[in-house]
Chains A and B, each alone.
Chain A
Amino acid sequence: MLDLSHICVAYDDKVVVNNVSFSLASGEIGCLLGPSGCGKTSILRAIAGFEQIIHGEIKLRGVQVASPDKHISPERRRVAVVFQDFALFPHLNVGQNIAFGLQHKTAKQKSQRVNELLALVGLPDISERFTHSLSGGQQQRVALARALAPRPDLLLLDEPFSSLDAELREDLAQDIRRILKHEGTSALLVTHDQHEAFAMADNIGVLREGRLLQWASAYQLYHQPVDKFVAEFIGQGTLLPGNVIDGHYVETKLGVFSMTKVQSAQFALEHSLDVLVRPDDIVHDDNSTNVAKVIARAFKGAHILYELALNDDPASKVLCLAPSHHDHALGERIGIRLDLKHLVLFNV
């Protein structure tokens, strides 16, 4: 459906998107995730046709729409956009807004599609209302309906939840995912919030300084990040120092682990490594002989997130997500054990 290969975007000689490639299958929902200024919005704008690319090519349904010498204008790409500020036209009512992209349809076709979409987004009776009387969440749904109305090949969503209340976001993200899957629309979302990305996307690309670091599912990004930046950006965790033994094992304060073949090949010549430990890798176990000192704690409702120092050494810290009943005070020593399903290693 969507193929980007080696695209670069620059503003006045400053390269903001550098050699980015990824593909989106038909009906797939992708997400570009990264801190602000990482170039994710520029990629979205290049796909929509609002920015030109200086290198690489963009294909939609196998047809090239952008390259350094070719630029199909946005109105001819069949790509719809939901904007950060929704960009709902204040002089048109909801129905007219949704029908805006249906230029060449009859009045009957228009109203039919408008009603169908309003029903789909769960706002069946607001066609006559003006957008300024709607709540943020309603405006968001109308913006989505408007974008979907012309049955675009691809839907782009630019930080679609940033102007909404935090409580609304995840509900709406789930809802939108359901709607997109119902319409079978391929979509690409841009956000800096990983929870939104997890809630909506099939595959997520993590960007940093204009480069795409990893394109993978949320599970993979969390458990098998390709580098330290992705590991730190996605979820929580700490890096535990480890030593390479015999080229096949890593020894840490929490035990010895065997490397995969690939890891052995990659790290055999190193002496010391960093091992990624996620909070869910550390299991709180009162019977364990391995004890660590509580140096910070954050109550999260069902769980308490403990920051623990191993062997009283504040430099080697791990996080532990313990059930809320296990209420321990600062300075207390608690029993833990490591339950590592994925060994993730990085160079020091």
Chain B
Amino acid sequence: MKRSNWREPWIWAVTVFSLLLAVPVLLIFASLFVPQYELWHHLYETVLSDYVYHSLLIAFSVGALTLLLGTSLAWLIARYEFTGRQTLQWLILLPMAMPAYILAYTYTGMLDVAGPIQSQLRHTFNWTYHDYWFPDVRSVGGAVVMLSLVLYPYVYMLARTAFSEQSASFYEASRSMGVSGAAYFRKVAFPLARPAILTGTALAMMEAFADYGTVQYFGINTFTTGIFRTWNGLGNAIGAAQLAAVLTSFVLVLLLLEKHSRRRLKYFHQGQTHHSSKRVSLSPIKRVWATLLCLLPVLFGFIIPTVQLSVWTLDRVSTQVDEQFIHLIWNSFYLAASAALIAVGLALLFAYAKRLHQHWLLTSQVQLASLGYAIPGTVIAIGVMLMLSAADDALNAFTEYVFDTSVGLIFSGTLVALLLAYSVRFLAVALHNVEAGLQRIKPSMDDAARSMGLSSFGVLRKIHIPLLRASVLSAILLVFVDVLKELPATLILRPFNFNTLAVRTFELASEERLQDAAVPAITIVLVGLLPVFLLTRALESSKKK
């Protein structure tokens, strides 16, 4: 018989915090019960079809492009031996450090009519503006390319792991049955990696749905820009929430796909690897092609934009790096650090509660609270806003009733709102890392330590803390950088006159001061490199095991 756990403080803590994190998203769906006929009529007449069309078009195109790019890069790296493969396998991850909106500003600065490339073309061929055709970066196609360039590493990472974990005996068995080369990829390697590839693609598509900075800058009407406009321009919070609910349901479909794929992944993983295949050496010509092919996405997704940003930064560093900029960095860093500590603290609470009490209700609470990674920042921001302004209203009504005075906005419009939104959005990142660390501490280790005379505090100090330290630190770092890069929620929820690097980049770029924007932008990119290095190290060590 299982003893009822509900007197445990762990359970109560988890219940309270997971509800707190779930409420914003639940409110978004609750908004559907307050009809907004006028707004929807207006939207239907004007931009709604654009929202749906553009959001779906961008998400699916990004999905297709990242799938193609990520899978082929992964197959090349996992399967073949060629010049620079060792270095390229982690260089390919670099674009992850680049937020899509920064890529969008940079390419716009480089490629628009007044930019260096077109100017040079006109100068060289003596053309005027109307003499030639040049692709417009500020288009749906441009947005798809920008997003795909920074999102393909999701697919690449998962696919590469899947390909390199496929047992060599699968390949040998296929060959002995007459199947090799392209047929092997089609019939065995790809179907086996499909759950991993779909998981990666679903994640990339979620990010594409969530993107605000790129589409806003390119002037494309999508759900995220629509939510923003309905909230900010039309001042209709419920309407914004309803749009957010529609966007969220698109994302939830992807979430289901992702969860389903991850379950299949477990089945497919059962074939224990005895030894993985030797990589195939390519002919000299093919080798060059492979190197070039792997280099291209890194070049366009990271190297070229970083060089351009650096050039602009060097140009503007004297005017842009001032007291205000230092203040900006301070704001961003302490906000990101506080958010990271809160998220990891919650993750530790949830992970330990799950470990101590394996109760289905607890597990599903934690799961609900960690769904935020799939929900676009814009949506979370609206949900947090609804929740906190209701809390403020209630509090003020209470103080007016009891003390005959109002206390003003305590929650909304303060950092509390931002920290709550970040916790909702990034808890999953922290939880994933903490749980991975905690999994290595088998319950039998606790028992063994206790049987050797350690108190439970001693177990924590001598076993858990040393073993968990690395994963907790990497969880903090990952959340820190994610918060630093986060744009839409920060934009909506920041207190008046409170700026961060991401917001400042966005503001400067919106004012077409692209070169000035380079200074905060490159700061974000450089800090963003940290988790990429961390990831590289994790991938390396998992291969050695």
Q: Does A84 contact B (CB under 8 A)?
A: yes
Q: Is the CB of B271 within 8 A of A74?
A: no
Given contacts A85-B274, A87-B170, A89-B188, contact A132 B267 (CB under 8 A): yes
Given contacts A73-B180, A75-B180, contact A88 B271 (CB under 8 A): yes
Interface string of B145-187 (1 = CB under 8 A from A): 0000000000000000000000101101111111110000001
A256 CB to nearest chain B CB (Å): 53
> Considering only CB atoms, which chain B residue lies closest to A83 in the complex?
B169
Q: Does A250 contact B (CB under 8 A)?
A: no
Q: Does A244 contact B (CB under 8 A)?
A: no
A84 CB to nearest chain B CB (Å): 6
Count CB-based A-B contacts (< 8 Å): 73
A-side contacts of B192, CB under 8 Å: 89-91
Interface string of A169-195 (1 = CB under 8 A from B): 000000000000000000000000000
B390 CB to nearest chain A CB (Å): 49
Q: Does A229 contact B (CB under 8 A)?
A: no
Q: Does B270 contact A (CB under 8 A)?
A: yes
Q: Is the CB of A90 within 8 A of B270?
A: yes
Q: Does A30 contact B (CB under 8 A)?
A: no
Q: Does A56 contact B (CB under 8 A)?
A: no
Given contacts A85-B167, A100-B177, A101-B177, contact A91 B172 (CB under 8 A): no
Docked pose: A207 CA to B170 CA in angstroms: 27
Interface size on B, residues (CB 8 A): 23
Q: Does A79 contact B (CB under 8 A)?
A: yes
- Which single member of B176, B179, B194, B274 contacts A84 (CB below 8 Å)? B274
- Which single member of B167, B178, B180, B268 contacts A87 (CB below 8 Å)? B167
- Which single member of B167, B175, B274 contacts A75 (CB below 8 Å)? B175
A-side contacts of B172, CB under 8 Å: 48, 50, 74, 81, 83, 87
Residue of B169, B174, B176, B187 with most chain A CB atoms under a 10 A cut-off? B176
Given contacts A85-B272, A85-B274, contact A103 B179 (CB under 8 A): yes
Given contacts A87-B169, A132-B267, contact A74 B176 (CB under 8 A): yes
A-side contacts of B173, CB under 8 Å: 81, 83, 87
Given contacts A74-B175, A83-B169, A85-B272, contact A91 B191 (CB under 8 A): yes
Q: Is the CB of A100 within 8 A of B274?
A: no
A-side contacts of B188, CB under 8 Å: 89, 91
Chain B at the A interface: SS class: helix
B-side contacts of A81, CB under 8 Å: 172-173, 176
Q: Which of B372-418 contact A (CB under 8 A)?
A: none
Docked pose: A88 CA to B173 CA in angstroms: 9
Docked pose: A49 CA to B177 CA in angstroms: 12
Given contacts A50-B172, A74-B172, A91-B194, contact A85 B178 (CB under 8 A): no
A176 CB to nearest chain B CB (Å): 17
B200 CB to nearest chain A CB (Å): 17
A-side contacts of B267, CB under 8 Å: 90, 130, 132
B243 CB to nearest chain A CB (Å): 39
> Considering only CB atoms, which chain A residue lies closest to B188 in the complex?
A89
> Considering only CB atoms, which chain A residue lies closest to B270 in the complex?
A132
Q: Does A95 contact B (CB under 8 A)?
A: no
A222 CB to nearest chain B CB (Å): 31
B-side contacts of A147, CB under 8 Å: 176
Interface size on A, residues (CB 8 A): 27
B-side contacts of A84, CB under 8 Å: 169, 274
- Which single member of A49, A87, A146, A150 contacts B271 (CB below 8 Å)? A87
Q: Does A80 contact B (CB under 8 A)?
A: yes
Q: Is the CB of A85 within 8 A of B180?
A: no
A48 CB to nearest chain B CB (Å): 6
Docked pose: A146 CA to B178 CA in angstroms: 13
A117 CB to nearest chain B CB (Å): 14
> Considering only CB atoms, which chain A residue lies closest to B272 in the complex?
A85
Docked pose: A331 CA to B173 CA in angstroms: 56
A134 CB to nearest chain B CB (Å): 11
Residue of A80, A100, A130 with most chain B CB atoms under a 10 A cut-off? A100
B-side contacts of A91, CB under 8 Å: 188, 191-192, 194, 268
A-side contacts of B180, CB under 8 Å: 73-75
B375 CB to nearest chain A CB (Å): 31
Q: Which of A202-248 contact B (CB under 8 A)?
A: none
- Which single member of B170, B176, B272 contacts A89 (CB below 8 Å)? B170
> Considering only CB atoms, which chain B residue lies closest to A96 in the complex?
B187
Given contacts A81-B172, A89-B170, A89-B192, contact A103 B271 (CB under 8 A): no
Residue of A73, A84, A91, A103 with most chain B CB atoms under a 10 A cut-off? A91
A-side contacts of B175, CB under 8 Å: 49-50, 73-75
A-side contacts of B170, CB under 8 Å: 87, 89
| Interchain residue pairs A-B with the least CB separation, the first 4 | A101-B177, A87-B169, A87-B173, A74-B175
Sample of 20 A–B contacts (CB below 8 Å): A48-B172, A49-B176, A73-B180, A75-B178, A79-B176, A84-B169, A85-B274, A87-B170, A88-B271, A89-B170, A90-B270, A90-B271, A91-B188, A91-B191, A100-B177, A101-B176, A130-B267, A132-B267, A146-B177, A147-B176
Listed in ascending order, the chain B residues whose CB lies under 8 Å from chain A are: 167, 169-170, 172-180, 187-188, 191-192, 194, 267-268, 270-272, 274
Given contacts A83-B169, A84-B169, A89-B170, 5 further A-B contacts (CB under 8 A): A48-B176, A73-B180, A83-B172, A89-B192, A147-B176
Listed in ascending order, the chain A residues whose CB lies under 8 Å from chain B are: 48-50, 73-77, 79-81, 83-85, 87-91, 100-101, 103, 130, 132, 146-147, 150
